[in-house]
Structure 1
Amino acid sequence: MTSAALHSTFSILFVDDDEISRVHFARAMHGLYPVHVARGAEEAMSVLAQHGAEIAVLVTDFRMPERDGDQLLEEVAQKYPQIVRILVTAYADKDMLLNTVNTGNVFRILEKPLRMEAVRDVLQQAVARYTERETRQQRLLAMDETLAFLAHELNTPLATIALFARTIENDVSGEFDPDSQTRIASAASSMLNNTQYCLSLISSFWATLHKNSGSPSLSRDGTREVSATRLIATLLDTYPFAAAQRDWITVDVQQDFVVRAMPNCVALVLSSLLSNALRALTNATEPALHIEVLRNSEHEIRVRDNGTGIAPDVKARLLQDPVTTHAEDGGHGMGMIFCNRIMRSFGGSLRIDSDWGEGTTVTMGFGNPHKPSEIH
């Protein structure tokens, strides 16, 4: 899979027990949308279990042997709420139609026989709706994930400061003169009050965010599924490249996979690595930046440039200490520490391979590829 494949269109799932209808629909959509087909509700759910991260629209017939289409729509609405749902029927069942519309489980109702020109128009609207939902949901998740990570990172040091402040406040007696005791105790009390305020602010803000967004606490089970290639494609589509920088980049996808943990924070890591690589290529004679999605002993995304490389003394400290080679550009050395903490927070890893004058490869590791998360 190459760079061009990153921009493939969202796919459609078409469900109908009639084989001729399935074949006709798939042929009619050829070149417009990738199509998955299923003969009934159970097969449709199996397809979704494997390809739910890429399916934008479900189109299902109403009358089917196993379960009717409205029942399938209801189950999909619960398990895959981001997917836009369309019902196809040849029956003028007013009560059924009203009930389906009133439940909110359907975006449009199409009548048989399907007129493919009209279907294409509806699918275009449905994909637009899906994109709108995804954008809104990703923004909420980005806020949620980032706040969760920052809360995790800040909670322990703030609690430690509060403990030290309380200890100082209790232990100053007898060690200093009365005036110094008063000043130290006052400073410790102020430090304690401020850290406790920060801790309560984080807790309150997080609780308010969840209440307003309706999002559950993030966990491995609650995280939306986003493929590695989609994260990369979104980054390349939105990154503010200068001049010919976009032309320096090639992408090679050997094995796509789902990023299940904190995908928006992972996107922040990718953005930071891309920014660092582009900066390293500023004075390169033939700048090249190669992004790979692959699996070895684990799922990996590699960002490789042929820039100046990293000096050994800097590389040895890069993931632990605030060290930077770009202080003149405002660099503070915290970027790679932040990236490393994000990856480690969900059991991943960040590895840097570089020789001075020979370029740099940064590898984001995501764990065991033999777990059922590959996308073929």
Structure 2
Amino acid sequence: MSDARQPRLTVLYVDDEEMACKYFARAVGTEYEVLVASSADEAVRILRRESARIAVLVTDFRMPGRDGGDLLRQVALEYPQIVRILVTAYADKDMLLRTVNTGEVFRILEKPIELGQVREALRLAAERYRERSIRHQRLMAIDETLAFLAHELNTPLAAIANFARGIESRVAAQYNPLRQSEIGQAATSMHDNAQYCLAVISSFLQSVRSSGSRPSTQAGASREVTAGGLIAALLDTYPFAGPQREWIKIEMHDDFAVRTLPNCVALVLSSLLSNALRALDGVDSPSLRFVVAAEPDAAIRICDNGPGIPPEVMGRLLVDPVTTHASTGGNGLGMIFCNRVMQSFGGGIRIESTSGAGTTVTLDFPNTKSRMHRSDR
């Protein structure tokens, strides 16, 4: 099938040499819409107006003022959906390595650039851009679907919670003390589980609305979602029982941005918090720590001083539906779900546990180029 009906993609070409800009536009202008800039600063001004339709950035390295490497780093940070190509006439390996590593360059073209090489590089870049667009659309669809499900579940769960509380208040007048205790405990469990579901839904919806699940056309139009921010939102909405919130401490070594699936990461954190609190039930001097660190690799650790995970369960925890809480409704699928979510965007889960000495669950995130202490360029 022909691609004739697909709209032409837009390419931004940056070079301080006017003839180079004219040559590039003339060479590929029949296949792509071409915008040109004579400096990094002019390119940034164009991006602020037109980033929603720019698919590929092609920039020279050596330019007066800010060089192409600096521009590539800014674009990688602020417009990650744009595929980036570097053009250089200098065989400086150290410079190229720095630029590739920090600017996430898709291809490097040497000057004088040949028409065939340019067209092939742009063809591959266009394919990469379309793949990213399709993936982003799918992620948006997932967000919208989960938000719809959350909305639909909210009302019946609230009704269950209220009904359970009503049972608790009425049971004392109708049953003997033993039966009262059994029904009361069941009603309390029903209420607490419904409240937990409501809290998860609330946290998820808040994350969907604030994480910029729709692409921004301007830099800075939406706030970054950070690991520390996800934890803070979770602790603000989680339905803690009794003194549970007092057990929890947060250690922030260096915050980092959660750029992929922050809404699902919020659900993972909620599930792991629930597991840890359940493990700490009945422990003397219970302690639970969230540790956020960006170096050497971005990670969130959840550490508790509970009884630990039995060895026969530990080895199967991330692959089989095993649980030590079947009597209270556990089915062992939660940890598998959490691991699959983390793996879906290049991360993962590691678990360290010793019987009687607590458990540490580590969420590993893919390499992130921008730490929260780093200033925008």
Question: When the two structures are superposed, what TM-score results if normalisation uses the length of structure 2?
Answer: 0.49
